[in-house]
Chain A
Amino acid sequence: GAVVSQHPSRVICKSGTSVKIECRSLDFQATTMFWYRQFPKQSLMLMATSNEGSKATYEQGVEKDKFLINHASLTLSTLTVTSAHPEDSSFYICSARDGNGDTEAFFGQGTRLTVV
């Protein structure tokens, strides 16, 4: 199957700083990428959907100025958590879908963010 690489896998940052998470599709062109966050023992919560070259579509309740998403190329999307606070600590996961009509979403490995 297709490979999606997410980096970093774990990050600890100080409150007030910003953290960037990268999501790369390694062997296909990801026209659409999805960003999720997952709290312990809960299911995935979609934060935003990004299409290459256009602005991301954020889900209700997700602050677009706090969670900056950039999908500048067909193989890379980034999520930047700005001015992080302890309540932003969570598991962030990206997934990508190619533009060839495949419906399966391929997941990155996830990023465990801890804000101290």
Chain B
Amino acid sequence: GQNIDQPTEMTATEGAIVQINCTYQTSGFNGLFWYQQHAGEAPTFLSYNVLDGLEEKGRFSSFLSRSKGYSYLLLKELQMKDSASYLCAVLDSNYQLIWGAGTKLIIKP
């Protein structure tokens, strides 16, 4: 079966750094996405990785290791507005998105 695992909830302090991990087992791989979703809103795109390595985009970075079936999203200089759910999703061999359950990130002052 296909499976995406990520922690249910994480807590971090404003100004700090947090890493949200995602492991996956899917039938084929055509890339991994990270989305941010605030409560009651639709997800918004953060990053897309299809090759191994680190992609940096401002305060957010995403890393991928295809051999390990592993990705992480790194958030630096945390702000209160970063409190949200972060969804990991993998594009499988049929180009269907397989979604993780999301990680709720709580930022404390």
**Contact indicator A49/B96 (Cβ below 8 Å):** yes
Residues of chain A at interface, number, CB under 8 A:
20
Mark A49-66 against chain B: 1 for CB-CB distance below 8 A, else 0: 100000000000000000
Chain B neighbourhood of A112, CB < 8 A: 40
Chain B residue, CB-CB nearest to A106 = B45
Residues of chain B at interface, number, CB under 8 A:
21
Provide the main secondary structure of the chain B interface: loop
Provide the main secondary structure of the chain A interface: loop
**Contact indicator B45/A42 (Cβ below 8 Å):** no
Mark B13-44 against chain A: 1 for CB-CB distance below 8 A, else 0: 00000000000000000110100000011111
> What are 11 of the A-B contact pairs (CB < 8 Å)?
A42-B101, A43-B87, A43-B101, A43-B102, A46-B97, A91-B40, A93-B42, A93-B43, A103-B91, A105-B33, A112-B40
